[in-house]
Amino acid sequence: MSPHVRLRAALRFWLALFTAADIVPTRLFPDEDYEWPHLVSPVSTALERLVERRAGLIATFGDFIAPWFEQFHATLQRSAGRYVHLDTSQIAATV
């Protein structure tokens, strides 16, 4: 499996946690004019979405990602935080 496919699968796992309502515009620096769209959701809601979207993720990437999905889900379940946060400025650096 190519690194590009792995990156796309990992990004889709993260994006499966959110909806458009979870977008929170944030400035990285106080004097910056541009706002990055951060994604923030309660962990419990994000996990529900992830489970609802499991079949679509596996259909898109194949059965080989099922163990990744289970590990990602379990890691989020064990998280001590109440919210899951995706900083999209970090994604921009990988594209």
Higher-pLDDT residue of 2, 70: 70
The predicted-structure confidence for 4-24, as pLDDT tens digits, reads as follows: 666 777 778 888 999 999 999
Q: Are 64 and 1 in contact (CB under 8 A)?
A: yes
Strands (DSSP E) contained in the chain are 23-26, 36-42, 83-86
Among 57, 47, 4, 46, smallest CA distance to 22 is for: 46
Token digits for 39? 């994604």
Q: For 37-42, what is the mean pLDDT?
A: 92
Q: What is the mean pLDDT of the chain?
A: 85
Q: Are 73 and 57 in contact (CB under 8 A)?
A: no
Q: Give percent above pLDDT 70 in the chain.
A: 86
Of 25-34, 37-46, 47-56, where does mean pLDDT reach its minimum?
25-34
Token digits for 44? 């419990």
Q: Give percent above pLDDT 90 in the chain.
A: 39
Partner residues linked to 26 by β-bridges:
36
Q: For 74-85, what is the mean pLDDT?
A: 89
